[in-house]
Amino acid sequence: MNSKNITTYSDYSLYADVDDLGNLKVLIGKEAVENALKLWIASFPGEMIRNPSKGGYVSRWLFKSLSNENAQSIKEAIIECLEEDFYPTLSLTALKVIPNYDKAQWEIKLEAYSPALKININIEESMRSIT
């Protein structure tokens, strides 16, 4: 697959961004894959409309206290879903899950490479702890 094929991936913005005409913004290529990955990480079980049995890997840890042990469990959950669930296939190159005690949230930083698309993926997402 060459770099031209990454434009075949499209998605609506996770944050419901709109364009100048008021239409939902459509993300293409790398932006679409990063958006899908953020949504996939933030989803609860059953929220993935096309795949209701998928998702919710990280959400179960939002009800647990902020700790290094739970951060490790979240990392393991993200790795599991990348290996089993996410398409296009990504090779994880870096993953940090940091408990931010001051803001009562998890900070997730993920870097990966898509061999099929020949692109690097970088996301940073914060998720509030519900404890």
User: How far is 80 from 78, CA to CA, in rounded Å?
Assistant: 5
Residue 5's pLDDT is 53
Count: domains in the chain: 1
Residue 49's pLDDT is 67
Residue ranges of the chain with pLDDT lower than 50? 1-4
DSSP H stretches of helix in 1-131:
30-42, 68-84
Domain that holds residue 41: 3-128
CATH code at position 110 = 3.10.450.40
Which helix H or strand E contains 1, and what residues bound it?
A: none
Beta strands in the chain (DSSP E): 10-12, 26-28, 91-100, 105-114, 119-128
Residue 56's pLDDT is 75
Residue 6's pLDDT is 54
User: How far is 120 from 113, CA to CA, in rounded Å?
Assistant: 4
